[in-house]
């Protein structure tokens, strides 16, 4: 996958930490032309076929896989405490 652009190491580490700690994330994604926002529970960050990927579950319960370079920005969703 020659068009993959690696993300910053610090962002990669933040994604791995979110997987380990089961922290939900708010993602802003781009497909090159448009962007969208999505809340997910990250399950795994891995490398395959020359690119890095995030496997996650959406709030609707759908499992998705995203290339990390499609993520424009992301933030942890604060846990509501009672």
pLDDT by residue (tens digit) across 11-21? 999 999 999 99
C-alpha angle 29-25-13 in degrees, rounded to nearest 5: 90
How many other CB atoms sit within 10 Å of the CB of residue 7? Answer: 16
Residue with tokens 């499609």: 70
pLDDT of residue 73: 96
- Bridge partners of 54, per DSSP, are 45, 66
pLDDT of residue 33: 86
Domain 9-76, CATH number (from 2.60.40.10, 3.40.50.720, 3.40.50.300, 2.30.30.100): 2.30.30.100
The rounded distance, in Å, linking the Cα atoms of 2 and 34 is 22
The rounded distance, in Å, linking the Cα atoms of 74 and 28 is 6
pLDDT in tens, 61-79: 999 999 999 999 999 999 8
- Bridge partners of 66, per DSSP, are 54
pLDDT of residue 1: 46
Q: How confident is the model at residue 37 (pLDDT cuts 50, 70, 90)?
A: very high
């Amino acid at each position: 996958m020659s068009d993959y652009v690696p993300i910053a190491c610090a962002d990669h580490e933040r994604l791995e930490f979110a997987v380990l700690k089961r922290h939900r994330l708010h993602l802003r994604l781009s497909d090159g032309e448009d962007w969208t926002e999505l809340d997910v529970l990250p399950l795994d960050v891995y490398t395959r076929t020359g690119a890095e990927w995030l496997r996650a579950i959406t709030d609707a319960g759908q499992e998705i896989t995203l290339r990390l370079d499609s993520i424009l920005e992301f933030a942890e969703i604060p846990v509501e405490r009672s």
